Amino acid sequence: MTQDDVPTPLAQVVGRAVKDARKRASLSQEGLADRMWKAGIGWSRNQVANLESGRMARLDLREVLALAAALGLSPLELIAPAGAGRIRVTEGIEGEAPDVRAWVAGAVATMTKSRGPEGRRGGGRMRRVAELNAIIEQATAEQRALLGVPEVEHGDDQ
């Protein structure tokens, strides 16, 4: 198994996406914690730092949704951002970011550890997933434009 085959735990994927989005928004960790409080999730700057550094092992759905709202993002952009690679959602569920994104978006019914979306053998289904991902990304861009949120650039800045 190569380094690229090793899945990244979901909390680490979310943490990286949060850090990237927070920096693009020129928002401090304290500022994000304040936004989390306003969203009804009592987070401190230390919790933001722990998430971004990979020290936080778990997030609940409410926290992911509040983080997305606080950063002006779709939850999908935190859970399965473009270029995330292989993601371990749980010990028994993992897949490539586009497959996880399609699953969370409801484009496929189930995920399995070894094959990603059930029925992966059929090229037609995966083409449909790619089409749905494009639709989701377009809708997200349109939502950002309507809300005046800057376009998201994915990068590795720390």
Strands (E), 34-117: 86-90, 93-96, 111-112, 116-117
Q: Is the full-model pTM beyond 0.85?
A: no
* pLDDT > 90 in the chain, percent: 50
| pLDDT for res 158 | 41
Domain locations along the chain: 3-147
The residue type of 74 is S
CA max distance for the chain: 47
Rounded Cα distance, 138 and 33, in Å = 29
Residue type, 109: A
**Does domain 3-147 match CATH 3.40.30.10?**
no
Asked if 82 contacts 154 with a C-beta cutoff of 8 angstroms, the reply is yes
- CA-nearest of 100, 94, 97 to 114 is 94
Residue 121: DSSP 8-state: T
Higher per-residue pLDDT: 155 or 103? 103
Amino acid at 112: T
Lowest mean pLDDT among 13-17, 39-43, 95-99: 95-99
- Supply 10's token pair: 């979901």
115 vs 137: CA distance, rounded Å: 24
